[in-house]
Amino acid sequence: MERAVFLDRDGVINRVLIRDGRPYPPASLDKLEILPGVADALRDLNSAGLRLIVATNQPDVAKGFQRRDMVEAFHDHLRRTLPIDDIRVCYHVDADGCQCRKPRPGMLLEAARAWEVDLTRSYMIGDRWRDIDAGRAAGCKTIWVRCDYDERLPEQPDAVVVSLWEASRLILANGQPLAASRSQ
């Protein structure tokens, strides 16, 4: 069985736009900015044999604020520039009641089946409580990228970091328990 790192997109891989303390994805491809250290972190995780799978909620499509083809253009760009194995997307809103929208673990479970991933040996890295809850529900270790948004905080992530780069160092540190690496 494979090991994987599941990654939220906005706020973990690329810069978000903050309005009224809440994070929003970039509106267009020319506004998509990969965060510092992301390319190196993903390269190192990939070199260590970990599958890299993006799992992202994109409800702005259902709300009419973003076009699906624009989201897919973002993902095409990420696939061309970063060593990402797969990108799973939920275009629903909470009211749809789907199983794929985080905090439900549907995207992670589907990707785990497709890639033969052992979820108990895998990680979910996210910047919002929904990411951490989805990772925990799937059976992954969870790493929260603290971004100080004005919203609910995640409950009991296995580690707290300030960047994907820092999260990658924790994962790659052989034998280091994540719980001992909390930096709240």
pLDDT at 176 over 50: no
Q: In what order do the strands lie in the sheet with 86-90?
A: 86-90, 51-57, 4-7, 123-126, 141-145, 159-161
Query: Is 40 a catalytic site residue?
Result: no
Enter the tokens of residue 41.
């972190």
What's the pLDDT band for 184 if we cut at 50, 70, 90?
Answer: very low
Q: Which domains are seen in the chain, by residue range? A: 4-181 (3.40.50.1000)
Crossing angle of helices 129-138 and 106-115, in 10° steps, is 50
Question: What stretches of the chain adopt beta strand conformation (E)?
Answer: 4-7, 17-19, 22-24, 51-57, 86-90, 123-126, 141-145, 159-161
Residues 6+ apart with CB under 8 A from 49: 3
pLDDT of residue 11: 97
Enter the tokens of residue 31.
């506004």
Query: Is 8 a catalytic site residue?
Result: yes
**Percentage, residues of the chain above pLDDT 70:** 94
Confidence (pTM) = 0.93
pLDDT of residue 181: 41
Of 37-41, 69-73, 86-90, 180-184, where does mean pLDDT reach its minimum?
Answer: 180-184
What are the pLDDT digits (tens) for 56-80? 999 999 999 999 999 999 999 999 9
Enter the tokens of residue 110.
């589907």
